[in-house]
Structure 1
Amino acid sequence: MASIREIAREVGVSPATVSRAINNNPAVTPAMRSKILSVVNRSRYMPTLSRRETTNIAFAYTGEPSLGSPYDAALMLGMSDRMEQCGFDLMIIDLQRAVMPHETYTQLFMRKGIRGCVLRTTTRTRHVCEQIAAEGFPAIVLADRFDDEQVSFIYADSKKASRDAVEHLLGLGHRRIAISRNLVDDADHADRFAGYREALAAHDIEYDERLDFRLPASRDGGTQLIRRLSTMPLAPTAVYITDPESAAAAMVESHRMGWQIPHDLSIVGFDDGELRYLTYPHMTAVCQDAREIGREAFECLQQLIGSTSRHASIQRSLPTVLAVHGSTAAPRSGPK
């Protein structure tokens, strides 16, 4: 890692000018600031705070935070498994709130003593990930994928397994199959929806928007889903619920209403860990290991931090799988 004097010598400015650029001082022109920060990121320079080298890794949200989700909790747990061995500390940050006017993301991260960041994004804020990558700051996006070769990401592809899940229900004899997906658009839920649509189309079943439910990815969303299904004159016999919390809550609410799972309603959920084994009956689910994704994310981020290339990138796609358990069976009748 270069010193501030070495960076200044390479750019041809004083160390004080480098410091001003890092701290977003308006005395430095935008062109010079960009030139300095490019060298700063390439050299992986990190200013010291309070006379000690910073060891912060950020878990950063580019859009609406989903901090309460089991997926994010499992990711951070997996990251911490590796971080403790390396002496890093975890910082959670909302980029929309934290970035100051006219401040680059690199300047924000340096101001907070952040060495690298894991990014969680939405469809609306993907451009933030691309901007951070363009600045050359070490960062890796989880649960999304990019065509831009500069953007590092780890993505669990759930499209094929989602299609397998709906094919499983069709093979059992279901024809009215609903889907419940997140209100907030992101790549994960878009893939699960695409797998659902593909499976229906392959069996010449027309997509019915009345069976497409956009609900919060939370326990409340699962409860709402079952209550809405109970009011339908011609209810589905099966549903694919693309969020773990919603799926578990839907099974609880179904039991509360006296429905027999899977005979009155077959449920396929999504599982980031081992939630499927905590329901009764055990839940058929599309599965990924979020904790392992978190471990891999930190290991990849370490590689990016240690790289001497400003635009080094890592792009990985991981599989998801369908695990069949007791929450799906041949239809007897729709829920009443």
Structure 2
Amino acid sequence: MASVRDIAARAGVSVATVSRALNDLPNVNGETRERVLEAARQMGYVKSSSTVVSDVVALAYPGDAVRADYGAFDSSLMFGILRGLNAHRYDITILNIGRDRAPREDYASFFRRKGVKGVILRSFEDSREECEAIAEAGVPSVVVADRFENPKVNFICTESRSDSRRAVEHLIRLGHRRIALGVHYVHDTDHTDRCEGYREALEASGVEFDPSLLVDLVADMNGGANAVRYLMNLRDPPTAIFFTDPMATLGGMNACREMQIRVPQDLSIVGFDDSDLRHHAFPPFTAVCQDASLLGYEAARWLVRRVRGDSDEPLRSIRQTTFEINQTTSTPPVRGERG
């Protein structure tokens, strides 16, 4: 097998530079790091297993791991992952695949270089192929909050389409016909499910879909507040809004207070909740609910068992959301009597 000195000679750099590049240390420019990694790949270099920490797994993102438009889901997910790993004395590292993986570096080599034995993956519409490639490469991995037909991809997610439809049907039964949807602009399976549930409920009840009531937003408080300001200033504003994310729901409720719009007397709101946030709002909001922490916990427990070799059972789990009626939905106001 090729040595560090062999790689240094092939890449035309010092042994120290090769060591820094292979161990992902700073003070190596991108071009040099790529040249070293490519030389290592061509020479079949495999990092000694004794240098790989065996009790570390990764939470890996296709790009930046910290973004406001990811919403509150990831913080709840991380809480569950840590709970699942702590029980087995495992640690976690957070990876940005797009930033750190060299252009021609295979996934197995990349994760080995990063010192991790297994990966929990966050997937979005534009990174599904990458998740499949990682699974095809034989890397122990599980995707959270998405589902796949490919039998090699392990995943755990929730199905929110049915309860999103149930939530909108609840509003329709109360008498609402002008029902808006505030949906996260980052496209993934979860938000596609919620949009489809919304459209299905309208169609089944004979309520015409109005494109002006569909608002793409950043899933944070500002996004929810801006959606309310836009919608309630329409010539024919909605009498109800369904938000697909918890922080957008809170932002929308805050904007209602600022605009002196009473919830639910003037405007009914249905939100989405990844934890128990709905019970800490005033008034407690009606919501489609999932337990993001449980998804993280189950993903972490399964991954540790797989990495340890304790189980070779696949994980292809689809959990069901729930729909909980609280204090933010009521019959629509009589037109002209708001406030």
TM range, normalised to the smaller chain? 0.7 to 0.9
State the match for 2:238 in structure 1.
Answer: 236
Q: Which amino acid in the other structure matches residue 59 of structure 1?
A: L
The 5 Å alignment of 1:1-336 reads: 14=1, 24=37, 26=39, 29=42, 47-49=49-51, 53-63=53-63, 65-66=65-66, 69-307=71-309, 313-333=314-334
Q: TM-score scaled to structure 2, two decimals?
A: 0.84
Which residue identity does 1:324 align to in structure 2?
A: I
Give a deviation string over 1:88-118, Cα, whole Å, max 9, x none: 1111111111111211121111111111111
Segments of 5+ residues of structure 2 without an aligned counterpart are: 8-21, 23-36
- Paired residue for 1:3? none
- State the AA in 1 paired with 2:201: A
Q: Which amino acid aligns with 2:176?
A: H
Residue-pair matches, total: 306
Q: Tell me if the contact between 1:154 and 1:315 (Cα under 8 Å) persists in the aligned partners.
A: yes
CA–CA separation in structure 1 for the residues paired with 2:79 and 2:48: 25
Shift of the alpha carbon at 1:202? Answer: 0.4
Equivalent AA in structure 2 for residue 156 of structure 1: T
Q: What amino acid is aligned across from residue 300 of structure 1 in structure 2?
A: W
Structure 1 residues 211 and 130, CA gap change in structure 2 (3 angstroms): same
Q: Name the CA distance, whole Å, in 2 between partners of 1:201 and 1:66.
A: 37
Partner residue of 1:6? none
Question: What runs of 5+ residues in structure 1 fail to find an aligned partner?
Answer: 1-13, 38-44
DSSP 3-state at the match of 1:217: coil
Amino acid at match of 1:318: R
CA deviation map 1:111-154 (0-9, x unaligned): 11111111111101111100000001011111111010100100
* Deviation of 1:299 (Å): 1.1
Offset at residue 25 of structure 1 (A):
5.0
CA distance in 2, matches of 1:122, 1:295: 20
Q: SS where residue 153 of structure 2 aligns?
A: coil
Residues 242, 271 of structure 2: 8 Å contact kept: yes
Amino acid aligned to 1:317: I
Contact 1:211–1:236 under 8 Å retained in 2? yes
> Post-superposition shift, 1:252?
1.1
SS in 2 for 1:86: coil
Q: Give the Cα separation in 2 of the matches to 1:25 and 1:224.
A: 48
The residue matched to 1:195 in structure 2 has which SS? helix
Any conservation in 1 of the 2:65–2:95 contact (CA below 8 Å)? Answer: no
Question: Which TM-score applies when normalising by structure 1?
Answer: 0.84
Tell me the CA shift for residue 281 of structure 1. 1.1
Match of 1:11 in 2: none
AA aligned opposite 1:26: A
**Change over 3 Å in CA distance of 1:212–1:60 after alignment to 2:** same
What letter is aligned with 2:236? L
CA 1:233–1:46 in 2, change beyond 3 Å: closer, same or farther? farther
Partner of 1:87: helix, strand, or coil? coil
Deviations 1:229-281 (A, max 9, x none): 22101001001000110001111110111011001110000000111011111
* 4+ residue segments displaced more than 6 Å: none
Deviations 1:275-297 (CA, angstroms, capped at 9, x unpaired): 10111111000001111111101
Distance in 1 of aligned mates of 2:261 and 2:106: 54
1:54, distance to aligned residue in structure 2 (A): 3.6
Contact kept, 8 Å, 1:46 with 1:54, in 2: the verdict is no
Q: Is the 8 A contact 1:76 1:291 kept in 2?
A: yes
Q: Percent identical across equivalent pairs?
A: 36
SS of structure 1 residue aligned to 2:215: strand
The whole-number CA distance in structure 2 between the counterparts of 1:27 and 1:117 is: 23
Letter in 2 for 1:250: G
Counterpart residue identity of residue 160, structure 1: S
